C-alpha cells in the first residue's frame, strides 16, 4: 500500500490545517496555495487517482464533490470556485493519492495551464 504525505497528515504525523473531516474524507489547506483559497479534498481510503478509480468508487467520488461544495460555501466562495484533479504525472499529479484541488478567491481563467 502506498504511504503518501496525505496518509501521514491523516495520521497526524505531519501538521496541516484541517477544514473538514468525516468517515470518508478530509479537507486540508494546500501548503502551496495557487489561489487565496486553496484546499485539498482527500479520500481516507487509498486510491491513487481518478485514473485508477472503478465503478466501486462512484459513491466516494460523488461524496468528494459534495464535500468540496460544502467547504467552498462555508468559506464564502459558494458562488465561484473550481474543483480540479490531476490524474497521472503527465497531468501534474505529484502525490499519488487522489485529491481534489478546491480553488477560489481570484478570477480563474480558462483553459487552465
Which residues participate in catalysis according to the annotation? 99
Q: Which stretch binds ligand DGP (CB under 6 A): 29-37, 60-68, 74-82, 105-113?
A: 29-37
Instruction: Show the cell assigned to 98.
Output: 487522489
**Interface region with ligand DGP, contact rule CB under 6 A, candidates 23-31, 53-61, 64-72, 75-83:** 23-31
Distance of CA 6 to CAs 18, 24, 58, Å? 12, 14, 21
CB of 62 to ligand DGP, least distance (A): 20
Cβ-based nearer residue to ligand DGP, 1 or 55: 1
Instruction: Indicate the DSSP class of residue 106.
Output: S
Q: Which three cell numbers stand for residue 37?
A: 483559497
Encoded one letter per residue, x for contact with ligand DGP by CB under 6 A and - for no contact, window 35-54 reads: -----x--------------
Q: What is the C-alpha to C-alpha distance for residues 67 and 25, in angstroms, rounded to an integer?
A: 9
Phi, psi of 103 (to 5 degrees): -120, 140
Q: Which residues bind ligand DGP (CB under 6 A)?
A: 5, 14, 16, 28-32, 40, 86, 92-95
Amino acid at each position: 500500500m502506498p504511504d503518501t504525505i496525505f496518509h501521514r497528515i491523516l495520521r497526524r504525523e505531519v501538521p496541516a490545517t484541517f477544514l473538514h473531516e468525516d468517515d470518508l474524507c478530509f479537507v486540508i489547506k494546500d501548503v502551496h496555495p495557487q489561489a487565496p483559497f486553496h484546499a485539498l479534498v482527500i479520500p481516507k481510503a487509498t486510491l491513487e487517482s481518478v485514473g485508477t478509480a472503478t465503478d466501486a468508487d462512484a459513491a466516494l467520488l460523488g461524496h468528494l464533490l459534495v464535500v468540496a461544495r460544502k467547504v467552498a460555501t462555508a468559506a464564502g466562495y459558494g458562488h465561484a470556485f473550481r474543483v480540479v484533479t490531476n490524474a497521472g504525472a503527465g497531468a501534474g499529479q505529484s502525490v499519488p493519492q487522489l485529491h481534489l484541488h478546491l480553488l477560489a478567491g481570484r478570477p480563474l481563467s480558462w483553459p487552465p495551464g
